[in-house]
Amino acid sequence: MSKVAEPTWRDRLRLGKEVGPGDHLVGASLGAVYVAWLLATARELGFARDEGFYFRAATDYARWFKLLFERPQIAIEQSSIDPIWQVNSEHPALMKSLFALSWMFLHEKWKVFDDASTAFRFPGMVMAGLAIWLVYIWGARVFSRRAGVFAAFGLALMPGTFYHAHLACFDVGIMTMWAACIYVYWRAEQKGGLAWAILAGVMYGLTLETKHNAWVLPAVFVVHALVLHGKRIARSSRVGMIPIPTSLLAMATIGPAVFVLLWPWLWNDTLPRVQGWFRFHLNHEYYNMEFLHVNYWKAPSPPAYMPVMIVATVPAVTLVLFFAGLGERAKIAWLRVRALLAHAPFLASQLRVSKGDGPKDRYETDLLLFLGLTVPLSLFLLPKTPIFGGTKHWMPAYPFLVLFAGRGFDLVCTAMHRALAPRLIDARARFMATAALLASVTLGSLLITSHSHPYGLSSYVPIVGGTAGGADLGLNRQFWGFTTQSLADYFAKNAWQGATVFIHDTAWDSWSRMLDEKRIRSDLRGVGSPSEADFSIVHHELHMNETDYNAWVHYGHVAPDFVLTHDGVPIISVYRRSKPKP
Amino acid sequence: MVPPGMAAFDLVAAKKWGFAFVPAVGILELVAHLWQTTAGVVPESDWRAAREVVKAKAKADDLVVFAPKWTDPVGRETFGDEVATLEREAFPDVTRFPRALEVSIRGKHRDELAGWKELARDQVGGVTITTLENPSPAKVIDDLVRHASPQGMTVQRTDGAREVDCAFQTGGGQAGGLGFGMAIPNERFACPGGAFVGVSVLEPIDYSARKCLYAAPIGGGSILRVRFANVAFGKALHGHHGLYSEHERGGASVTLLFKAEDKTLGRVVHNDGDGWKGYELDTRELEGKRGELIAEVTAGNGNRRQYCFEADTR
C-alpha cells in the first residue's frame, strides 16, 4: 500500500476549490498592506477634534489597566473605577480600551511607535485591516475570489474610509464589527453547533461594546431569521413552540453579558448607567452640517443627504460595480419570488413558472447582505435623524456595498472573458486580462484616495468635480478641525517664538498632542479667542463664517495672511494681528 | 436591412462588449481626477495677475466680488485689503454700487449681480474678470454706519424715566470662536448696564458678511437710542437689520423705530427667521434737509438678541 503524504503547509495554503487557509493568507495580507499604508501616512494627518477626547480617555483608562495588572482587587472597587471610567462614559469601552492598551505596550513599554498618537490610532488601523480581510473572505465564500479581491480593494480605496481608518475613533471599528458580527451569524447558520452560536453571542457583545450602532443590528438578524426559518417557525407555532436560532439566543444572552463585563463603568449602578448611555444618544445634540449650500442644524436630515453624499464620496466605478452586482442579485431574488408565487395556481399560469423553478439560496445570503447594507443607511431616511458627523455614520453599510460591487466585478470579468475568448487562449492570458480589468477599476480609486490625504473629509470624487466640485455644490468642507496640522509649515516660517494662536475648532487635547509630538512648533501657545491671539485660524465651514468676521473686526483687516488650500479650495485661513504683507 | 439614412446599432455586439462600460468608467474617473487636481486648479499666479488687472480698473465706489463664493478667502488673501475692502466684503446689498468687478473661476457667477449689464470681460489665465454695470444704481447721500464716532452720533440708554449717556470708548474689543457671535468692536458707545453700539460684522442666517451697527436690545421696557447727528436726508431711508445666525432660533422680536423732527418715520420689526431683512422708509418730507435722526432699538426680552442694523439715505 502506498502511503498518502501528509499535506505540507504550502499545500494547505494553496488556493483550492474551497475557500481555506490560503484565502485567509490572501485576506490577511491585503489587510496588512492596508495597515502598513495607514501607518506610513499617519504622521501627515493631524488630530481630529474627537481624537483629542479619546486620547485623554484612553490615557485615563490606561491608569486603570495598570492598576488592574498590579493590584486587581483594588482596581475592581467602585472607588477605583468610577473616577476613571466616568471620563467619556457616553461611549462604550472596547475601542478606547484597545487604544489604552496599545499606548501602554506599543508606545510606553516596548517603544514600537515613536508617537503616542500612532499607538492610540493603531487599533483603529488594525480594525480597518480586519475589515479588508473580512470582505475578501466573505466575497470569496459567497461569490468568488475575484469578487473578494475587488471587495477588499473597493473598501480600502474610498477616501472616507481611508481617512477614518487613521483615527483613534470608533467609526471604522464599528464598520468592522458590524460586518464581522453579521458574518459570524451567517457562519453560525451555515455550520450550526454551539461553538459558532456562542461566538455569535460574543461578537454581538463586542459590537455593542464598540458603538451604539449595534442597537439596530437585531433588525438585521430578526428579519433574516424570520425569512430563513419562517416555514419552520410557522409549523412549530401551530404546536405552541417557537424555535429560535441558537445564535440569536446567544446574542440576546451572551451579548449583553460580554458588553457589561468589558465596560467597568457598568459594573456598578448598571441599569441607570445603561439608561444614561441610551439617553445620551437618543437626545444627542445636533451638529451643523452644510449640504447643498444650506446649513442643517436640527432634524430631520434632508432625505437626499445620504444618497448624494455616497455618490459624492465613493468612487463612481465602485458604485457602478455595486449596481451591477446588486442588479444581478435582485434579478435572482425576483426569480425566487416568482417561483414562490408559482405555488398559487393562478399566478403560476400568469407568470409561466412551475414549482421549484427558482434559484436556491439556502442561507438567504443575498437577503442578509442586503439587510447589512440597508439597515445602517435607512436610519438616515428617518424623519427624526439629524445630520451629525456626515458620512462616517453609515460606514457600516460599506462592507456590504463592496461585497455587491465585488459580485459586479465578477460579472464584468466573466463577460470580458466571454467576449475575449478567442484571444484568451490560456490561464496566463486570462489572468493578465483579469489583472488589467482590476487595474482599470482600482487605479483611479487608488490615486483619488491617495490624493485625498490628509484632507479626506474635504475631498470629493471626480463625478461631482473633485474637491472644487464639492465646494461648488455646497457640500461640507471639513469637520472636527482635522486640518490644523497642515499649517505646520506656515507657522514654522511665520510665527515668532512663543506666538499665540487661536486654534478655532481644534480640540485642546488634539492641539497639545500636536505640539507634544512636534507636529507643530512646540513653542506656540494656543488660545481660546482671536482677541488673545497673534495668529487666528479659521476652519472653513459654512456655519463658522462668524469666526472670519470676528477676525476682520478685531484685527481691522479682511485679508488673511495665508490660506491653506486643497486643489484650490480654501481649507483654513490664517489671520495675523499685524497687517498682512502687502 | 438598414433603411437608407439610418445607422445600425448591433445589439448583439453591444451586449457582448457591454462589459467595457465598467473599465471605461474607471479610466474616465482616473482621467477626470488627474485633470481636476492639476490643470483644473487655478494657479496662484493667475490670481496675482488678476489682482493687477482689477487694481487698474476698480474705482473707489466699485464693488469687487469673488465667484464662486468659496473662493472669497483666496481672493482676499491675493487681492489684499486695498482691493478687498471691508465695505466690499460685507456690503448691505448691491444697490449702492454703480459698477461691479466680478472675479470668477470655473465659470461661476454671483447671484447678486444677475441682471447687471456686462461692460467688459478680461481673461487672466483661469480667472475671468467681468465688469458689470448696475442698471439702476442708488445714489447714497449718507451712510449711518459711517456716523459711528463721537462726532457722528451719540447713544443713550433709557430705563423708564431714567436716561443715561453711553460713553464712547476705545479698547477692550472682543472676538471669539464658534458661538461667540458678533465681535464686540474696539470702538463703541458703552452704556452703563452692559449695552453698547458699535460697528461690527454680522453673520446673519445665510452666513453672509454684513457690516452694520451692533446694537443688541436691552429687553423689557428699556430703549437703546442712537442719535445720528447732521444726517443728510434724501427721499428714502434704506436699510437692513438682522440677528446673529444662532440667535434666529427662538427669541423676542426686535423693533427698530426711526424718528426725525419729532415725528416717527417708521417702525420695522425683526422676527426670528427673517434673516438679513431689508426695509425702506419714505423720507420725502425731509429731502434736502440735514438734521438729527434717532433710531430706537427695543425688544421684549434681550436674551440671545445679538442684533445689528444699517441704513443709508438716498
Residue A292, CB-side half-sphere exposure with 13 Å CA sphere: 9
What is the C-alpha to C-alpha distance for residues B83 and B90, in angstroms, rounded to an integer?
13
Q: Is B41 on the interface with A (CB under 8 A)?
A: yes
Are A158 and A45 in contact by the 8 Å Cβ rule? The answer is no
Q: Measured between alpha carbons, how far is A508 from A530 in angstroms, rounded to an integer?
A: 15
What confidence tens digit (pLDDT) does each residue in A60-88 have? 999 999 999 999 999 999 999 999 999 99
Q: Is residue A520 within 8 Å of A491, Cβ to Cβ?
A: yes
Q: How far apart are CA A566 and CA A540, in angstroms?
A: 12
Shortest CB distance from B29 goes to which of A315, A502, A561? A315
The span from the CA of A195 to the CA of B77, in Å, is: 64
> Does B125 touch chain A if contact means CB atoms closer than 8 Å?
no
Angle, alpha carbons A286-A291-A295 (nearest 5°): 50
The residues, ordered by sequence, that sit 6+ positions from A435 with a Cβ below 8 Å of its Cβ are none
Instruction: Report the distance separating Cα A261 and Cα A278, nearest Å.
Output: 18
Alpha-carbon Rg for chain A in angstroms: 26
Across the interface, whether the CB atoms of B209 and A324 are under 8 A apart is answered no
C-alpha to C-alpha distance for A262 and A205, rounded to whole angstroms = 9
Q: C-alpha cell of A318? A: 465602485
CB count within 10 Å of CB B261 equals: 13
Q: How is the beta sheet containing B117-124 ordered, strand by strand? A: B63-67, B99-104, B127-133, B117-124
Mean pLDDT of chain B: 96
Q: Where are the alpha helices (DSSP H) in A485-565?
A: 488-494, 508-516, 545-555
- Across A332-346, A417-431, B146-160, B169-183, least confident range: A332-346
B30 and chain A in contact, CB less than 8 A: yes
Please give the residue of chain A at the shortest CA–CA distance from B25: A317
CB B62 within 8 A of CB B99: yes
The shortest CB-CB distance from A468 to any of B106, B175, B209 is to: B106
Indicate the pLDDT class of residue A582, thresholds 50, 70 and 90: very low
Which pLDDT tens digit goes with each residue over B173-184? Answer: 999 988 899 999
pLDDT for res A355: 63
Q: Which of A546, A559, A569 sits opposite B80 (nearest CB)?
A: A559
Closest residue in A to B245 (Cα) is A543
pTM given for the model: 0.94
* Grid cell of B181 as nine digits: 457671535
Mutation pick from A550, A561, A563, A574 vs chain B, by most beta carbons of B within 10 Å, is A550
- For residues A228 and A231, give the distance between their C-alpha atoms in angstroms, rounded to a whole number: 8
Q: Is the pLDDT of residue B37 over 90?
A: yes
CA A430, A433, A437, A443 torsion: positive or negative? positive
Which residue, A49, A96, A52, A39, is CA-closest to A516? A52
Contact (CB<8Å) B30/A444: yes
Question: A284: pLDDT confidence band, cut at 50, 70 and 90?
Answer: confident
Question: Backbone dihedral region of A292: left (phi > 0), alpha (psi from -120 to 50 degrees) or beta?
Answer: left
Q: Enumerate residues 6+ apart whose C-beta is below 8 A from A458.
A: A452, A467, A470, A477, A478, A483, A566, A569, A571
Cβ–Cβ below 8 Å for B177 and A549: no
CB atoms within 10 A of CB A76: 14
Å from B226 to nearest chain A CA?
Answer: 21
Distance of residue B161 Cα from the nearest chain A Cα, in angstroms: 35
Q: Does A550 touch chain B (CB under 8 A)?
A: yes
Tell me the pairing of strands B223-232 and B236-243.
unpaired
Q: How confident is the model at residue A301 (pLDDT cuts 50, 70, 90)?
A: confident
Local structure of B264: helix, strand or coil: strand
Contacts of A418 in chain B (CB under 8 A): 16
Cα separation of B28 and B115, whole Å?
37
SS3 A548: helix
DSSP secondary structure code for residue A288 in this structure: -
> B238-273, pLDDT tens digit by residue?
999 999 999 998 899 999 999 999 999 999 999 999
Smallest Cβ distance to A440: which of B27, B41, B209?
B27
